[in-house]
Amino acid sequence: MSDNQFAPLQNDRFLRALLRQPVDRTPMWMMRQAGRYLPEYRATRAKAGTFMDLCRNTELACEVTLQPLERYPLDAAILFSDILTIPDAMGLGLYFEEGEGPKFKKPVRTSADIAALEVVNTAKDLDYVTNAVTAIRRELNGRVPLIGFSGSPWTLATYMIEGGSSRDFARAKEMLYNRPEDMHQLLSVLADSVIDYLNAQIRAGAQAVQIFDTWGGALSHTAYREFSLAYMARIVQGLIKENDGRQVPVILFTKGGGQWLEAMADTGADALGLDWTTDIAQARARVGGKVALQGNMDPSILLAKPERIREEVASILASYGRGSGHIFNLGHGVTPKVDPAHAGAMFDAVVELSPQYHD
């Protein structure tokens, strides 16, 4: 898919900031911006049936991706999908139980289980995702860029081994420490799958991509580098760097990853996502000459009054300081109980307060 089949981009503020180029104000989007906090999303989700039915329905996935752009002055849309599409395509039987999150009917636990896995062929097994990317890009009509994404190999592996969500990742860590060769084999298959998946999204129309390493922060200092970061670095090196004359920036986001920012910046990624436990001024001092920074407001602040939200926005903008290279975002996904008007207060504050930090 060529960019010339899409409308020209009218707002490239987000892409410019990712490459630390000058912008007129700090660009913004929000992780999980198309989600359960929006009544219009809940209505579309009910119409779709199950969550995965919504992901697989091109028209409805496009509809929910665009819903937050009708409410807020966002600078990017993000593909509506799930991080577990790759293991689902590997035949592990993904399903969702109300209130319990994702589960797999066939967890990956033995050496034989791992040996049976093959690198995902996105064109064959996940075409519903690339179809959605192209449909969303067309529907956006150049308003803002579209972000594609994937889970990191380590994060995907935890769900596959545990059979769902986990508090302590006991099975995954047992494999990591007792059978590292099995873990490396699993992560290798997943890394190659993510490369194929993200490159397919880029070819279909994604203009930036983010790797969500949701559970990297659960690892020890050395284990993170060996079992999470090394595979994300491999993915960054394997991605399409430019599509139709424009660079395709890559964002790495490790929740709880503040201690590894320098090593993350060394992967070749263009930007690092920060959670709210890392001070953005310190992060900029450490790596801001090398990468852009995205974040990093605590999502829970959106439960506070609009005046308090505005104060927090002002504090984060001041902490980052003058110049480009900052994309305003939450430090993790917006939570279902947030009042949409409170998210609006955050975005309004960014629009009003951020131009003073740019020439």
- Does the annotation flag 36 for ligand binding? yes
Task: Note if 197 is an active site residue.
Answer: no
Domains of the chain in start order, with CATH, are 3-357 (3.20.20.210)
pLDDT at 5 (0 to 100): 85
Task: Note if 36 is an active site residue.
Answer: yes
Collapsing DSSP states into helix, strand and coil, what is residue 101? strand
Task: Note if 192 is an active site residue.
Answer: no
Task: Note if 159 is an active site residue.
Answer: yes
- Does the annotation flag 77 for ligand binding? no
**H or E stretch at 292:** strand 292-297
Task: Note if 137 is an active site residue.
Answer: no
Please write the tens of the pLDDT for every residue from 75-118.
Answer: 999 999 999 999 999 999 999 877 778 999 999 999 999 999 99
Q: Active site residue: 159, 197, 231, 320, which one?
A: 159
d(CA 104, CA 101): 10
Please write the tens of the pLDDT for every residue from 36-57.
Answer: 999 999 999 999 998 999 999 9
d(CA 286, CA 261): 8
Cβ neighbours of residue 315 under 8 Å, at least 6 residues apart?
none
Q: Active site residue: 32, 56, 284, 310, which one?
A: 32
Q: Active site residue: 82, 127, 266, 298, which one?
A: 82
- Does the annotation flag 138 for ligand binding? no
Calculate the alpha carbon distances from 187 to 19, 56, 116, 180 in Å. 29, 26, 14, 10
- Does the annotation flag 33 for ligand binding? yes
pLDDT at 4 (0 to 100): 66
Contact in structure between 319 and 279 (CB atoms under 8 Å): yes
- Does the annotation flag 237 for ligand binding? no
- Does the annotation flag 34 for ligand binding? yes
Please write the tens of the pLDDT for every residue from 199-229.
Answer: 999 999 999 999 999 999 999 999 999 999 9
**H or E stretch at 309:** helix 306-320
Ranges of beta strands (E only) in 36-144 are: 77-78, 94-97, 101-104
Using 50 as the pLDDT threshold, list the residues of the chain that sit under it.
Answer: 1-2
- Does the annotation flag 332 for ligand binding? yes
